[in-house]
């Protein structure tokens, strides 16, 4: 008991009565916490949990004003072992987060005892086995967040899951779940986030019942063995901010209504079998940051409006059959633009002038298209550029000397064009791949490129002596090809 202090006897009496009522209705929570600590073999992180202290002051423990344990936040503190049954007798627990530890065992049904639970995060552990069939009617009717992601759960998603009617956030991604996605999940009308990605489900469609999930802001169903046409009802989910449905086997076209989702920030549909043109009727998705439609069979021209999206940062259109030009305004209005990857299409015309306007471009890759014209000065002067890959096009003209002064450049691949120009004697130390074969470069081979590992410059018009000390100037070099130039001398 607490040390005696002066106070009205009436209050003291009342306190004793309250205390004894509490003691009857719930176990000694300090003792429960100590049991939990012992079950986990006294991990160093819980050293401060000792019989002496008031348990509400212990680290990772939160209590309500009545001194009942409501929160346990035991994240990333090297816990091993299973979830002890004692946790299920912390009857007032509303928030349990044991994510990112090394917890093993199966789903802890002891948690059915925590009737007030609102937030449960077991993610990033090694919990395995099937989820219990009765999880939905027992896991607490108040539960609003359930994160079981990054574990080893197998078997099917229990059909009762839909009974957790307060769920706003359901994360089951990155497990070993099989079977099909239950139709009844469409009854979880409060859901804002539904993450099911990266599970080996049976091939199946995204259930049509999901059209009732009108509050969804975040749908992450990548790599879920989805088949059938692109689910057209997604265009009616007006709250949608993140739609990741990549790495499935969806067919059909991207419904034009997708571009009318005004809150959309991420659209990722890459690596499916989508066909047809990217048709835009009414474009209101002006907040897009990521457009990833790569690795499909899309045709037609790239909508020019992509060039006017102020927050566009990543644009991946590679491995499709897009034709026409890159949007001429690309980069001029998207000052954060950092990745533009459009390789393996049928694009024609020139490289837009303003790609690096915001000074953030890191990757511009457009190999295997039919681009012509020259490399724009704005691109060559782009200090943030790391990867420039333009091989297999019809580019011509001098490569601006400025390009070779860009210190962050790591990979430059310009093979199979009609480019001219020369290389400086000393190349930037970050440059590790330089592939400029089959062009019309002239002048001498650089003497120094201390980071260079891969140097291919065959089929050009380089001349003069190969520097005698090439091995010193390029100490990391492991692939070198200088065939079909006008070089003389020897390589040591
Ligand atoms: C967990 O283990 C790592 C590596 O042994 C250690 O650096 C870290 O401090 C530990 N964390 C806690 C909270 O004990
Ligand atoms: C669960 O914990 C992980 C790791 O600590 C965290 O990244 C994740 O955001 C949490 N999940 C939810 C739904 O809050
Ligand atoms: C998990 O903890 C490790 C350090 O122990 C950290 O590097 C990692 O980012 C954490 N993962 C998540 C998802 O929070
Ligand atoms: C789930 O994994 C356990 C082993 O952790 C195994 O015994 C069980 O058969 C698996 N269940 C399914 C449905 O694959
Ligand atoms: C896709 O999911 C499978 C399990 O179904 C997993 O093994 C694989 O790593 C996932 N792929 C990616 C890219 O995450
Ligand atoms: C959507 O919800 C309505 C009303 O709750 C219900 O009648 C309908 O069957 C649901 N649709 C689907 C496809 O589940
Ligand atoms: C696309 O379809 C082809 C031919 O049917 C198939 O071989 C391929 O695996 C499919 N790709 C995806 C990502 O589903
Ligand atoms: C772009 O991002 C900024 C900062 O997050 C935000 O204030 C602005 O509204 C966004 N623009 C659009 C069109 O969504
Ligand atoms: C791409 O389009 C061209 C015609 O423009 C066609 O010949 C070719 O077969 C298409 N490729 C694919 C993969 O659809
Ligand atoms: C690029 O090719 C088109 C035909 O596809 C041609 O009209 C145009 O003049 C060419 N531009 C340059 C700069 O070579
Ligand atoms: C380079 O130009 C020559 C003539 O100027 C042309 O015959 C050749 O096809 C061009 N090569 C490429 C890869 O565009
Ligand atoms: C090499 O790249 C790093 C990281 O991008 C950058 O911080 C550094 O300044 C670069 N080195 C030179 C010589 O520019």
Q: Determine whether the shortest distance from the Cβ of 416 to ligand 11 is under 6 A.
A: yes
Interval between CA 155 and ligand 2 midpoint (Å): 23
Cα of 101 from ligand 3 centre, angstroms: 9
**Which atom of ligand 9 is least distant from the CA of 321?**
1
Q: Which of 73, 76, 195 to mutate to test the pocket of ligand 3 (most atoms within 8 A of CB)?
A: 76
Taking the CA of 250 as reference, the closest ligand is 7
Identify the residue whose C-alpha is closest to ligand 9 atom 12. 321
SS3 of 339, please?
Answer: strand
**Strand duo 411-413 + 433-435: pairing:** parallel
Q: What distance in Å separates the CA atoms of residue 390 and residue 403, rounded to the nearest whole number?
A: 14
Atom number in ligand 12 closest to CA 429: 13
**Residue 100 alpha carbon to ligand 3 centre in Å:** 6
Which ligand sits closest to the CA of 59?
A: 1
Between the CA of residue 238 and those of 187, 191, 192, 217, 218, what are the distances in Å? 18, 14, 12, 8, 11
One pLDDT digit (tens) per residue for the chain, 492 residues: 333 343 333 333 333 334 444 444 456 999 999 999 999 999 999 999 997 779 999 999 999 999 999 999 999 999 999 999 999 999 999 999 999 999 999 999 999 999 999 999 999 999 999 999 999 999 978 999 999 999 999 999 999 999 999 999 999 999 999 999 999 999 999 999 999 999 999 999 999 999 999 999 999 999 999 999 999 999 999 999 999 999 999 999 999 999 999 999 999 999 999 999 999 999 999 999 999 999 999 999 999 999 999 999 999 999 999 999 999 999 999 999 999 999 999 999 999 999 999 999 999 999 999 999 999 999 999 999 999 999 999 999 999 999 999 999 999 999 999 999 999 999 999 999 999 999 999 999 999 999 999 999 999 999 998 887 888 899 999 999 999 999 987 765
Taking the CA of residue 208 as reference, the ligand 6 atom at the shortest distance is 13
Q: What is the CA radius of gyration of the chain?
A: 30
Q: What is the C-alpha separation between 458 and 438, in angstroms, rounded?
A: 6
Q: What's the CA gap between 112 and 125, in Å, rounded? A: 20
CB–CB of 44/5 below 8 Å? no
Query: Which ligand 3 atom is at minimum distance from the Cα of 100?
Result: 1
Threshold 0.95, pTM exceeds: no
Q: Whose CA is nearest to atom 6 of ligand 6?
A: 212
- Is the distance from CB of 425 to CB of 446 less than 8 angstroms? yes
446 lines ligand 6 (CB under 6 A): no
CB 351 within 8 A of CB 327: no
Ligand 6: which residue has its CA nearest to atom 1?
Answer: 212
Atom of ligand 12 nearest to the CA of 428: 13
Of 392, 434, 378, 426, whose CA–CA distance to 409 is shortest? 434
């Amino acid at each position: 008991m607490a040390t005696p202090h002066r106070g009205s006897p009436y209050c003291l009496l009342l306190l004793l009565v309250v205390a004894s009522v509490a003691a009857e209705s719930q176990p000694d929570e300090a003792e429960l916490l100590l049991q939990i600590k012992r079950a986990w073999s006294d991990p160093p992180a819980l050293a401060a949990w000792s019989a002496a202290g008031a348990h509400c002051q212990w680290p990772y423990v939160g209590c309500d004003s009545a001194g009942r344990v409501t929160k346990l936040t035991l994240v990333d503190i090297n816990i091993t072992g299973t979830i002890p049954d004692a946790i299920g007798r912390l009857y007032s627990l509303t928030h349990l987060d044991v994510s990112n530890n090394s917890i093993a065992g199966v789903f802890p049904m002891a948690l059915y005892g925590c009737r007030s639970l609102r937030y449960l995060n077991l993610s990033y552990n090694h919990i395995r086995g099937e989820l219990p069939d009765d999880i939905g009617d027992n896991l607490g009717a108040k539960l609003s967040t359930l994160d079981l992601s990054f574990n080893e759960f197998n078997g099917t998603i229990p059909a009762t899951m839909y009974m957790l009617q307060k769920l706003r956030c359901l994360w089951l991604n990155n497990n070993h779940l099989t079977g099909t996605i239950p139709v009844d999940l469409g009854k979880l009308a409060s859901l804002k986030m539904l993450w099911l990605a990266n599970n080996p489900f049976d091939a199946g469609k995204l259930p049509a019942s999901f059209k009732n999930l009108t509050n969804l802001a975040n749908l992450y169903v990548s790599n879920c063995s989805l088949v059938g046409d692109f689910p057209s009802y997604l265009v009616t989910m007006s709250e949608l901010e993140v739609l990741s449905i990549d790495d499935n086997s969806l067919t059909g076209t991207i419904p034009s209504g997708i571009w009318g989702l005004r809150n959309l920030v991420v659209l990722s549909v890459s690596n499916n079998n989508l066909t047809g043109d990217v048709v835009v009727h009414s474009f209101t998705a002006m907040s897009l940051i990521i457009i990833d439609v790569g690795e499909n069979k899309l045709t037609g021209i790239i909508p020019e409006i992509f060039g006017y999206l102020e927050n566009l940062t990543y644009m991946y259109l590679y491995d499709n059959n897009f034709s026409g030009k890159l949007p001429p305004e690309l980069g001029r209005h998207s000052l954060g633009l950092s990745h533009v990857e459009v390789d393996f299409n049928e694009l024609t015309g020139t490289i837009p002038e303003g790609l690096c306007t915001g000074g953030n471009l890191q990757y511009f890759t457009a190999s295997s298209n039919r681009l012509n014209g020259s490399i724009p000065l704005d691109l060559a002067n782009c200090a943030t550029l790391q990867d420039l890959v333009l091989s297999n096009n019809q580019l011509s003209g001098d490569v601006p000397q400025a390009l070779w002064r860009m210190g962050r450049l790591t990979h430059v691949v310009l093979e199979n064009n009609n480019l001219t120009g020369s290389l400086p004697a000393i190349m930037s130390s970050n440059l590790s791949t330089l592939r400029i074969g089959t062009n019309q470069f002239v002048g001498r081979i650089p003497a120094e490129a201390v980071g260079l590992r891969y140097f291919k410059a065959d089929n050009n018009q380089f001349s003069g002596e190969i520097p005698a000390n090439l091995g010193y100037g390029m100490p990391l070099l492991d692939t070198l090809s200088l065939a079909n130039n006008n070089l003389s001398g020897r390589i040591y």
